[in-house]
Structure 1
Amino acid sequence: MKNSLKPKHDMRLLFSCLFLVSFFNSFAQEVKPEIKPIVKIDSLYREDQFYFSVTYNLLLQGPTGLKQDKFSAGLSGGFLRDMPINKTRTIAIAAGLGLSYQNFYQNLTISKDQNGGNIYGVNSSSEYVSNRYKQYSVDVPIEFRWRNSTYESYKFWRIYSGVKLSYIFSDKSILNDGENTYKISNNKDVNQFQYGVYVSAGYNTWNVYCYYGLNGLFDKSVKTLSGESIGLNTMNIGLIFYIL
């Protein structure tokens, strides 16, 4: 009788040992600590950014009677290279390259005389059907930057101010006086090289923007039929968006 019970006892002992080994193995797998990857934070960050602006365009310092009508819009976009100059990287200088489109609806008309020369006049809106001027330029903005950004956050307050140099590579005025349509492209009287100052300020992506041209859109020697110098300094007011 004793010999028949011994194998059963041995089997039970064997199964118990296997169960305990399996249990401790499963437990060891469950409590194994999770190893998380180490993420390196770049403390030497730059605010290199693409920018895009939408503006309302104004003409200032023009001849007597100059008025604008409709909505004169402007669009610009480009890239700025950020160069921090302090340890916390909250102050920087940036330079970039961009393109602009500017459109103006106003009552400064440009037509042609019999010899093909340009005739400039300031007319009442009742004297023509439509009149507009548009231009395309390459821009080089250079700005001084302040922001309260950190390398852990991309949302911050900013004030950027600087100068913008522009080269007008294409311009066109279109006048329809009801009898004739005058289309004048790449007007030799337009100052192709433009420069001015600007400021942008805001939080995160949304920022207000203002630019003022320091030199006239037209050459100083260009005058209207009444003998007034045309000049015309430009101002752009609107929004500018920065995208990393």
Structure 2
Amino acid sequence: MRFLKILCLFVATTAFSQEKPPVTVQDTTFFTRVDSLYREDQFYFSVTYNLLQHKPPGVALNGFSTGIGLGFLRDMPVNRKRTRAIAAGLGISYNKYHNNLQVTEAGGGYNYAILEDVSYSKNKLEQLFLDLPIELRWRNSTPESHKFYRVYLGFKLRYLLLNKTKFVGDETIVVLKNKDFNSFQIGPYLATGFNTWNFHVYYGLTPLFKSAQLNGKSIDMRTLNFGLMFYIL
């Protein structure tokens, strides 16, 4: 009997000692994998207020002139932390300018005149561009957060897809595809800010017109666009 009790105690002790410790399984359902090879700010949308620089005497803007732009930029980081990058892409932009420079067609060419002592409700220029931007990027981004400071300095080549001037007064005069406009335009730009809100400015180095004249002098107007830039992904 005593032997039987000792045997039972030995078996129970051995079985207990061979039990495996409990294994804790971590539920990773709500954990997000950190992407160390992330890219930033690859889609953009801009809203601008437009000005004209180097205007001929007497030419003025007389309304709220605005523009919009959108496009894609391929972000290509150049350092391990991915806080510096080069970006290049493709976009489209639309700009309008309410002004007092009237454009009319005459004899296969175009005439330009300042609207003085003329009653009219609208006189505007509209342009649609294909944009090819390239930029250098500095930022303090991390893989875990999309909130960071950025300074992007770039250069933009623009191709004029469409242009239109429209005068509305006693009569309506519309001029399409004016060949006096420069088809290719270039200029530097800057975008800087934090998180969602970014200041944006572009200055056109190329004159709007390539051969237009007003009162015997070349029209050397250039564009200055500034406003807000928004980035996505």
- State whether structure 2 residue 96 is matched by structure 1 residue 106: no
Count of matched residue pairs: 211
Amino acid of the structure 2 residue aligned with 1:110: V
Taking the TM superposition and a 5 Å limit, the aligned residue runs for 1:21-100 are 33-37=24-28, 39-100=32-93
Separation in 1, partners of 2:161, 2:191? 25
Partner Cα distance (2:60, 2:23) in 1: 77
Q: Which has the higher strand share?
A: 2
Judge which range, 127-136 or 87-96, deviates more: 127-136
Is the CA contact (8 Å cut-off) linking 1:211 and 1:236 kept in structure 2?
A: yes
Q: Judging changes above 3 Å, is the alpha-carbon distance between structure 1 residues 34 and 235 closer, same or farther for their aligned structure 2 residues?
A: same
- Determine helix, strand or coil for the equivalent of 2:57: coil
Q: Which residue of 2 aligns with 1:4?
A: none
Cα deviation, residue 125, structure 1: 6.8
The Cα of 1:227 is off from its aligned counterpart by 1.4
Q: Find out whether 1:119 has 2:95 as its counterpart.
A: no
Which one of the candidate residues 219, 234, 239 is aligned to 2:223? Answer: 234
Displacement after TM superposition at 1:198 (Å): 0.3
Distance 1:144 1:188 in 2: 34
Q: Which residue does 1:192 correspond to in 2? A: 183
Task: Quote the residue 1:157 is aligned against.
Answer: 149
Q: Equivalent of 2:213, from 207, 216, 223?
A: 223
What amino acid maps onto 1:58 in structure 2?
A: L
Q: 2:167 aligns with which of 168, 171, 175?
A: 175
Cα displacement string for residues 9-33 of structure 1 (whole angstroms, at most 9, x for unaligned residues): xxxxxxxxxxxxxxxxxxxxxx863
Contact 1:49 1:80 in 2 (8 A): yes
* TM-score between both structures, scaled by the size of structure 1: 0.81
Q: Is the aligned partner of 1:208 residue 2:207?
A: no
Q: Once superposed, what is the RMSD of the aligned Cα atoms? A: 1.8
1:137 counterpart residue number: 129
Q: Using the TM superposition, give the Cα deviation of residue 232 of structure 1 relative to its aligned residue in structure 2, in angstroms.
A: 1.1
Offset, 1:216: 0.4
Residue 41 of structure 2 contacts residue 231 of structure 2 at CA under 8 Å; is this kept in 1? no
Kindly indicate whether the alpha-carbon contact (under 8 Å) linking 1:112 and 1:182 is maintained by their aligned counterparts in 2: no
SS at match of 1:36: coil
Q: How far off its partner does 1:112 sit?
A: 2.6
| Distance in 2 (alpha carbons) for counterparts of 1:125 and 1:198 | 38
Tell me the CA shift for residue 175 of structure 1.
1.5
Deviations 1:110-169 (CA, angstroms, capped at 9, x unpaired): 0133x2421111223745332111011111110000000011111100000110111111
- What CA distance in whole angstroms lies between the structure 2 residues aligned with 1:53 and 1:68? 21
TM-score after normalising by structure 2: 0.85
Deviation at residue 39 of structure 1 after TM alignment: 4.7
